[in-house]
Structure 1
Amino acid sequence: MKIFDCIAAVARPLHDVGDEFMSDGTTAAVGLRAGFSPGRGFYCRGRFGVLGEAPVPVVQAVQGFLGPDLVTTGWLAGRDVMAAEDAAACYAEALREWGHAHIPADVDVEHFNHLAQRLIDAADAASLPLFAGWRAQPCPADDPVGAAMQRVHVLREHRGACHLAAVRAYGLTAQAAMVVNLGVEQAAHYGWREPQPVAADLIPRWQRAEQLTDELQAPLYTALTDRQRTEFARLVDALTASPTR
């Protein structure tokens, strides 16, 4: 499989399974057990905790696509519960727990982990701090299923960071990109206050940003052979095809 064919095959499944994890009630329950109140505290403090005790504007700048009010409320709400580093570790535990509940038992997670780690190791993390933070997060060697889900998240953060850079390169705001991609209602759900439909001439910019995102990810996939890329795409398809969804 050629590089861009592989990227096209895996981008949506990796994104969508990450979305499912983030919005799942069982994920929220992990946060509640850890002492977080209902709301976005565990999500913000956990996902962005790899940045350390950063000020709110820094967190907002790094993650980009969520509305400022959502990030501010969530990040500050979680600050009194646990340190950022501990929250990130707790979030990683939630990822692994979710993986055990949702990754089909017949998936060759050992092979997925081998190929996914080659991609992760091949990435140049310059200008991608959220990805870099998650790449540095310890991943247990004795839990291949949980590690597979954690690596899914790391790869998802890589594409998200590349997409934010691409969107800005084409002169789009993150809010406009969210509206083009998901619509006004979903943009509001993700914290943007009273988002409005975007001008039609911005849509081609977003499409070019999507293409640039693929191009920014391409160097990772040179780490795999054509055959390995085919295997990786097949494994991603199998891993994200949980019968519980």
Structure 2
Amino acid sequence: MTAVARPIHDFGDEFMSSEATSAVGLRAGFPPGRGFYCRGRFGVLGEASVPVVQAVQGFLGPNLVTAGWLAGKPVMPAEEAAARYAQAVRTWGRTNIPADVDVEHFNHLAQQLIDAADADALPLFAGWREQPCPADDPVGAAMQRIHVLREHRSACHLAAVRLSGLGAREAMVINLGVEQATHYGWHDPQPVAATLIPRWRRAEQLTDELQAPLYATLGDRQRTEFAQLVNALTASPTP
């Protein structure tokens, strides 16, 4: 369901890059930088080694993942960091999700999708699906479900990129450019040959195909409602 892919991705990015999220990590004792992000987001994998974390998440460069995961390790166990990150997800959602969104209906449809998803070869999604989602915080829960669905597409996209014959660094350069690839931890990324760009387009198509069975679990009316709710929920965050 391509209509919801971009808003779910971008709203998740807003959370991950916000100063409010960084402040949660600092208050929890994480040093400035990517420690809270790496230890929190990837903590659902447990006490994995750096190479394992890198292999599972894929798109961030080894420099960023190594520094962030190791910086966060002395602060708290992986499971605790993931729970703290989930709490930050929900807190950010309560601040940034518009008040007039029917989050109860969104949560119902989103949970149907999350429960129906095939998690084979998608370990980061599987880990986040297992994170407890409180019933007494519907707005925060809606944001957590946005995050879980974002992890599903991200994991599908990593698989699609590799199936299309691209490396993660090449995919990042094609998608975001050399400067942004550097920002996301890739050392000295080089421009990618134009002949590889069709592979990127194929990866995008494959990602949609991998997600299609998930959204097929909703009826036509439910898919329309879900797209409308995602658009309403991910409206521009409060400045």
Q: TM-score, normalised by structure 1?
A: 0.97
Shift of 1:97: 0.3
Residue of 96, 105, 112 corresponding to 1:118: 112
2: CA distance between counterparts of 1:243 and 1:23? 12
Partner residue, 1:171? 165
Partner residue, 1:74? 68
Structure 1 unmatched ranges of 5 or more: 1-6
Shift of 1:242: 3.5
Pairwise CA RMSD = 0.7
Whether 1:15 aligns to 2:9 is yes
2: CA distance between counterparts of 1:243 and 1:130? 26
Percent identity of equivalent pairs: 81
Q: 1:1-245, aligned counterparts within 5 Å? A: 7-242=1-236, 244=238
1: CA distance between counterparts of 2:144 and 2:217? 20
1: CA distance between counterparts of 2:236 and 2:158? 29
Q: Secondary structure at the match of 2:203?
A: helix
Shift of 1:243: 5.3
2: CA distance between counterparts of 1:78 and 1:34? 11
The count of aligned residue pairs is: 239
2: CA distance between counterparts of 1:240 and 1:137? 22
Shift of 1:232: 0.3
1: CA distance between counterparts of 2:174 and 2:63? 20
**Which runs of structure 1 show a deviation greater than 4 angstroms over 4 or more consecutive aligned residues?**
none
CA contact (8 A) 1:62 1:129 kept: yes
Shift of 1:8: 1.6
C-alpha deviations, 1:77-109, integer Å up to 9, x for none? 000000000000000000000000000000000
2: CA distance between counterparts of 1:12 and 1:185? 21
Q: Secondary structure at the match of 1:223?
A: coil
Q: Secondary structure at the match of 1:218?
A: helix
Q: TM-score, normalised by structure 2?
A: 0.99
1: CA distance between counterparts of 2:237 and 2:178? 31
The one-letter code matched in structure 1 to 2:87 is E
The one-letter code matched in structure 2 to 1:107 is V
Structure 2 unmatched ranges of 5 or more: none
Partner residue, 1:3? none
Change (3 A) 1:243 1:164: closer
The one-letter code matched in structure 1 to 2:58 is G
CA contact (8 A) 1:122 1:219 kept: no
